[in-house]
Amino acid sequence: MKSTKYQLPIFLALVLLAAIALCGIFPAHAQEIAKNQPQAKIDTGDTAWVLMSAALVFLMTPGLAFFYGGLVRRKNVLSILMQCMVALCVISIQWVLCGYSLSFCPGNGFFGSLQWLGLNGVGLTPYAAYAPTIPHQAFMIFQAMFAVITPALIIGAFAERMKFSAYLIFIALWSLLIYNPICHWVWGVGGFLRNMGTLDFAGGIVVHINAGIASLVAAIVLGKRKGHEHTAPRPPHNLPLTVLGAGLLWFGWFGFNAGSALGANGIAVNAFVVTNTAAAAGGIAWAILEWLANGQPTMLGTVTGAIAGLAAITPAAGFVSVMPSLIIGLLASVFCFIAVAVIKPKFGYDDSLDAFGVHGISGIWGVIAVGLFASKAVNPLGADGLFFGNPHQLYVQAIAALIAVGYAFAGSFIIMKLVGIFTDMRVTDDEEAIGLDLSQHQEGAYTILE
């Protein structure tokens, strides 16, 4: 067994020192970039909406903690809450130090430059290339919340068995090497997928494909939970907690999607409406599928379907109208139901809380759906899809999804193996039996500590 007594503190200290040292490398150039941007007048309504949306997306990570926390066994609920909340801390710092610069600073087709390290040059005037009517820092903090929740989604794949120290190293490296580059490819100035014409309004590729594929990798590399091979799927230990989390996620998703319009405008309204419609369609579709397959609809299935609909509409929210969003939500539940109820049992991987089966599959479907249903009548800055006379957009979306899947799979696998060189990824059998609440944190959500 590998000792982590000194490795983790030394690793974190080196990362922090390197980030501090790098922050002073390009100050003059970064300030010059800011000076050369065309000045635009700040719109207070747009700014208020984006800040409110950032707060809504922030709430999604605690909401995810409740959603996942209710699904695991009672002895592991606190570990889920801890992993989600510490992601808020770790990734918020990483984003400020280097993540935002690597993701959004003008660079080449693959990476942003290092000129905005430590938010140097990221001020209170608009940056016209991204959002000409809001302060640059408002755009930055809105995007920070996306960066936070994306690695937190992966927790659902390795719940109840990953060491907390390994988790910290994993999310730091994964955000740096997987999330930041893919974010730049899709949304950054000069990103090669953006230049190719890829449309991803609020993160179908950047968030859901990215995290979903990493979840599949994590489930495969870590292996199954002890005893999972011989037992039926365990029911949630606290279903009301999961429903509360689903409600917070649905609520926060309005900021996630409608906020991505980066202004209080018609695109935001459209994104808000289609987000709610797709979620509702996904929820009722999953309930009906369970009713047909098992004789009864369930609360867990309904909220799972709603999350599938929300994930699927995310890349399309600013490009499709209401009726296509209904189809997108319905089919998201169909595809995810097959992934969870048929494909996962057939192949035997232990995607504990179906992070891949819901987010990965919905993300892929949503990105493809943009190529089918996008319409310039909804968003003149977008493109028409196949059903509006432009089959090329479907090709672009499919290629972008395939590239993201390949990079996220290979990169996540390498990072998991790399972390495994320095520390054990899994808790011991005894620690898993005791539960991660006590073995990793010496706290208990329900257990009374003497």
pLDDT digits (tens, 9 = 90+) for 176-189: 999 999 999 999 99
Residue 15 in 3-state DSSP?
helix
**pLDDT digit string (tens) for 394-420?**
999 999 999 999 999 999 999 999 999
| Number of separate domains in the chain | 1
- Whether residue 442 is predicted with pLDDT greater than 70 in this model: the reply is yes
Considering the chain, what is the average pLDDT of its residues? 91
- The more confidently predicted of residues 227 and 132 is 132
Q: Which amino acid is at 447?
A: T
Which of 117, 86, 110 has the alpha carbon at shortest distance from 177?
A: 110
- Whether residue 444 is predicted with pLDDT greater than 70 in this model: the reply is yes
Phi, psi of 127 (to 5 degrees): -110, 105
In a domain, 133, yes or no: yes
- Whether residue 244 is predicted with pLDDT greater than 80 in this model: the reply is yes
Specify the pLDDT at position 24: 42
In a domain, 127, yes or no: yes
Mean pLDDT of 337-365: 95
Give per-residue burial for 171-205: e unless 16+ CB within 10 Å, then b: bbbbbbbbbbbbbbbbbbebbbbbeeebbbbbbbb
Q: How far apart are CA 55 and CA 72, in angstroms?
A: 27
Phi, psi of 426 (to 5 degrees): -100, 150
Residue 425: band (very low, low, confident or very high) from pLDDT cuts 50, 70, 90: very high
Specify the pLDDT at position 12: 53
Question: What is the span of the domain harbouring residue 43?
Answer: 37-441
- Whether residue 40 is predicted with pLDDT greater than 70 in this model: the reply is no
E strands within 192-306? none
Which of 120, 124, 122, 117 has the alpha carbon at shortest distance from 101?
A: 117
In a domain, 29, yes or no: no
Which of 287, 291, 312, 310 has the alpha carbon at shortest distance from 300?
A: 287
**pLDDT digit string (tens) for 84-104?**
999 999 999 999 999 999 999
In a domain, 76, yes or no: yes
CA atoms within 13 A on the CB side of 5: 2
Radius of gyration of the chain (CA): 21
Mean pLDDT of 426-439: 93
Alpha helices in 95-197 (DSSP H): 100-104, 136-153, 155-158, 164-174, 180-187, 192-195
In a domain, 122, yes or no: yes
- Whether residue 27 is predicted with pLDDT greater than 80 in this model: the reply is no
Are 252 and 59 in contact by the 8 Å Cβ rule? The answer is yes
Specify the pLDDT at position 32: 43
Mean pLDDT of 24-44: 54
CA atoms within 13 A on the CB side of 56: 20
- Whether residue 275 is predicted with pLDDT greater than 70 in this model: the reply is yes
> Chain-centre distance of CA 159, in angstroms?
16
- Whether residue 317 is predicted with pLDDT greater than 60 in this model: the reply is yes
Mean pLDDT of 327-336: 98
Question: What CATH number did the domain enclosing 141 receive?
Answer: 1.10.3430.10
Q: How far apart are CA 234 and CA 255, in angstroms?
A: 33
- Whether residue 119 is predicted with pLDDT greater than 70 in this model: the reply is yes
In a domain, 339, yes or no: yes
In a domain, 31, yes or no: no
Q: Give the global pTM.
A: 0.91
A 10 A CB-CB count for 348 gives 10
- The more confidently predicted of residues 17 and 431 is 431
Which of 230, 324, 338, 236 has the alpha carbon at shortest distance from 281?
A: 324
Specify the pLDDT at position 5: 52
- Whether residue 3 is predicted with pLDDT greater than 90 in this model: the reply is no
Q: Which of 128-132, 215-219, 224-228, 380-384 has the lowest mean pLDDT?
A: 224-228
Specify the pLDDT at position 26: 41
Alpha helices in 161-316 (DSSP H): 164-174, 180-187, 192-195, 210-222, 239-258, 266-294, 299-313
In a domain, 1, yes or no: no
Residue 235: band (very low, low, confident or very high) from pLDDT cuts 50, 70, 90: confident
Tokens found for residue 154: 């992966």
Q: How far apart are CA 91 and CA 430, in angstroms?
A: 30
Distances (CA, A) of 297 to 70, 233, 289: 19, 17, 8
Specify the pLDDT at position 20: 46
Q: How far apart are CA 353 and CA 361, in angstroms?
A: 14
- Whether residue 62 is predicted with pLDDT greater than 80 in this model: the reply is yes
